[in-house]
Amino acid sequence: MTAISNRYEFVLLFDVANGNPNGDPDAGNLPRLDPETNQGLVTDVCLKRKIRNFVALDKDESSGYAIYMQEKAVLNNQHRKAYEALEIEPEKSKLPKKEADARALTQWMCKNFFDVRTFGAVMTTGINAGQVRGPIQIAFAQSIDPVVPLEVSITRMAVTTEAEAEKQSGDNRTMGRKHIIPYGLYRAHGFISAKLAERTGFSEDDLALFWRALMNMFEHDRSAARGEIAARRLIVFKHDNAMGNAPAHTLFDRVHVARQDGEADSPARRYSDYQVTLNRDGLQDGVTVEEML
């Protein structure tokens, strides 16, 4: 397929109510925070994981939409598929000496794995399939306002063994903890390079799937910690060429998110507590903007 020929930037707004959008394993799974501002954080890796999961549900992996970075995937086995398909014998930790063979292996990985041609991958482990710089990058999402993590106590009513069941009921109900934030509206910025898409073969069909994944990724990621999380707005800036017509930060500055008038003194608890405005005045020549969500 022909690679995309336009540069893009986008702003994604999503919110969470009474949940934990991205726990920090180094902090007892507390919601991630900027310690200086107490604004919530969601990592790029977390968002990419949800996009991968959506694509895995939506597409047949045999059609070029397999996912490279899967749960419990053995990456060397993923690389071995390229060697077997191209009938090349792997050397430990080395690419083939023939440059054409090495290039063919990396291109095979891009062609068959959606996340490799989208986000890139370092595939230089025991069975070396090269390294790819992907056309799409996503920055950390950050909450608009500070968030307040809450620790909620939980108990269990069941027991695991008969011996536990014989104990008095007050002594065998294991206590636990879960961490939530009452509400947070998060903003993430993304970048799509047409020049890097040329190298991986990221196509218009791939781009349409990516937009669909961004808008729907939370719909298939429900859990006790993420029961009420939703994509709210997706604003896309499109350049009329591959190199672009304006710096990304000047386009992001056109999207302003603030509390509704008269409500700034009370904690936000819903999306309607915010006002999102998009400044289209004086938009740079060669740049168009579309609100997909």
What's residue 248's pLDDT?
98
* Residue 169's pLDDT band (cuts 50, 70, 90): low
162 has pLDDT over 70: yes
User: Mean pLDDT throughout 239-264?
Assistant: 93
69 has pLDDT over 80: yes
Task: Please check whether residue 247 lies inside any domain of the structure.
Answer: yes
Count of helices and strands (H, E) across the chain: 8, 14
Task: Please check whether residue 234 lies inside any domain of the structure.
Answer: yes
User: Mean pLDDT throughout 60-74?
Assistant: 89
Three-state DSSP at 196 gives helix
What's residue 72's pLDDT?
86
Task: Please check whether residue 232 lies inside any domain of the structure.
Answer: yes
What's residue 171's pLDDT?
53
Task: Please check whether residue 102 lies inside any domain of the structure.
Answer: no
Task: Please check whether residue 2 lies inside any domain of the structure.
Answer: no
Task: Please check whether residue 282 lies inside any domain of the structure.
Answer: yes
What's residue 174's pLDDT?
65
263 has pLDDT over 60: yes
Task: Please check whether residue 83 lies inside any domain of the structure.
Answer: no
What's residue 61's pLDDT?
77
What's residue 259's pLDDT?
94
What's residue 240's pLDDT?
96
**Tens digit of each residue's pLDDT (9 = 90 or more) over 104-159:** 999 999 999 999 999 999 999 889 999 999 999 999 999 999 999 998 888 877 77
What's residue 236's pLDDT?
98
CA distance linking residue 127 with residue 172, whole number of Å: 50
Q: Which residues of 184-205 are buried (b: 16+ CB within 10 A; e: fewer)?
A: bbbbbbbbbbbebbebbbbbee
User: Mean pLDDT throughout 3-31?
Assistant: 95
**Which structural domain range is residue 36 located in?**
8-57+135-149+178-291
232 has pLDDT over 70: yes
CA distance linking residue 51 with residue 192, whole number of Å: 15
What's residue 93's pLDDT?
84
Task: Please check whether residue 256 lies inside any domain of the structure.
Answer: yes
Tell me how many domains the chain contains: 1
Q: Residue 37, exposed/middle/buried by CB under 10 A (0-12, 13-18, 19+)?
A: exposed
User: Mean pLDDT throughout 265-273?
Assistant: 92
Give the lowest-confidence range in 23-27, 213-217, 263-267: 263-267
